[in-house]
Chain A
Amino acid sequence: MSVGLNHFLVLSAVLFSIGMYGVLAKRNVVVILMCVEIMLNAVIIALVAFSRFVTPTLLTGQVFAIFVITIAAAEAAVGLALLISIYRNRENVDVEEIDLLKM
């Protein structure tokens, strides 16, 4: 069975949903950040697959993928810095207990 664009799109959708489930269902902020990275990876797979199958001679999809990776690196750095800061102040990384802004 030959592998085409649809296979990569299904893989991307499945990975994105796994990450989405993790972001919504987990309590630990570290795990939530890991799941955000999985979601970003799923998006990059879709971008590269479009670049490979729809416009193989242009590299626009891969250029976009590089920018997504750059933003993901910035996101990971700031997200983990916030996490360390919250842990220092509250000794906790559970999203159900970090509710200072609630009410």
Chain B
Amino acid sequence: MITDGAAFAFWVLAVGTCLAALSVVLLRNIFHAALLLVLTFTGVAGIYIVLSADFLAGVQLLIYAGAISILIIFAVMLTRRPVMTGGFSRFSISAAIVAVTLVIALIWVTVGLTDWSISSESPIQPTTAPLANALFDRTNGWVLPFEVASIVLLAAMIGAIAIVKDK
């Protein structure tokens, strides 16, 4: 299954990603939070490499660590005020209770209750060409969802321009 080196990489990446995500939530300076979000996304890309999903790791780095982080940092820059409003709302205690309950329930259901049928076959490597074949397969591919996704992206782009356009 997963080699010792990959297992070591998993532990380092998992702990690092969780710490970075936690500091995104807990830091009061939102610019530092945005920078740690980039670290979180990079750590998740490493997790994809451990899961032998190399194409997705590249996509994660390009789209999340590249494009979405830049968008968020632009938003931080455009909305920053002298007084940083990175604080917590009055629901923070109940939110913490909800989050802890959720993590316990999720782990209980997915790890404790469910018996996943683990396959012993080795994964496909590299994944880029097989992924393209799976997406655009003639009989059981995902061509229609792919085209719908492109329309969704176009609609989101036009919508974003229409929302921020000066009246």
Binding site for B on A (CB under 8 A): 1-11, 13-22, 24-28, 30-31, 33-35, 37-38, 41, 44-45, 48-60, 62-63, 65-67, 69-78, 80-85, 87-88, 91, 93-96
Contacts and interface: CB of A to CB of B under 8 A. Distances in A.
A66 B116 contact: no
Q: Is the interface of B mostly helix, strand, loop or mixed?
A: helix
A76 B63 CA distance: 11
B142 A63 contact: yes
A70 B152 contact: yes
A48 to B, nearest CB: 5
Interface string B80-103: 010001111111101110111011
Interface of B: 1-2, 6-7, 10-11, 14, 17-18, 21-22, 24-25, 30, 33-34, 37, 40-41, 44, 47-48, 50-53, 55-56, 59-60, 63-64, 67-68, 71-72, 74-76, 78-79, 81, 85-92, 94-96, 98-100, 102-103, 106-107, 110-111, 116-119, 121-124, 127, 130-131, 134-135, 142, 145, 149, 152-153, 155-157, 159-161, 163-164
